[in-house]
Amino acid sequence: MTPRTRPPALPLAAPVLCRTLHGGAVAVRAFAQPASVIGTPASAEQVIAIHFSGDAVVEQRLGTAWRTARLERGDLTLLPPFTPTEWRLHGAVAFLHVAVDHDWLQQFARTRRFIARRARLCVQPLLGQRDATIAALGTLVWDHLHRPR
């Protein structure tokens, strides 16, 4: 199926769980998404997604470019702010979605001296990067979110 003949994108399923931090500047959501085509609008959030499902092939449109990846448990996806996305999921996926307000992240990076005072933090998009430490941290958060209160 070519990008032009894809079915219309649907909104992301409702999160299974959601917690907010830092006065709402950071939102951590757990999603379980069936095989589908979904679209996400542009927002002022930097998104970090950690995948928890088994192997799943996904196609991602970020801006005008399409990319394909096989995502495995613990893989990371980074989405820059202010960019709409469209996804074709070839199988069910579960993921932890960490959305950080772009302006809050800029200020946080400056106060921690990760970037110079007048510099702008620019995170590049990433699809399916493996990082064992982040995957382990994500698993701890996932388990914590699923624990009864």
pLDDT digits (tens, 9 = 90+) for 29-51: 888 888 999 988 888 888 888 88
Per-residue pLDDT at 102: 83
Q: Which residue has the tokens 């979904």?
A: 38
CA distances from 23 to 2, 19, 26, 100, 115 (A): 42, 11, 8, 11, 23
pLDDT score recorded for residue 5: 52
Nearest to 82 by CA among 121, 42, 124, 34: 42
- Tell whether the model's pLDDT for residue 128 goes beyond 90: no
What token pair was written down for 125?
């998009």
| CA–CA distance, 66 with 97 (Å, rounded to integer) | 21
pLDDT, tens digit (0-9, with 9 covering 90-100), for 1-17:
444 455 556 667 777 77
The string of pLDDT tens digits covering residues 103-122 is 888 888 788 777 666 666 66
| The two three-digit tokens of residue 108, written as one number | 């946080």
Whole-structure pTM value: 0.74
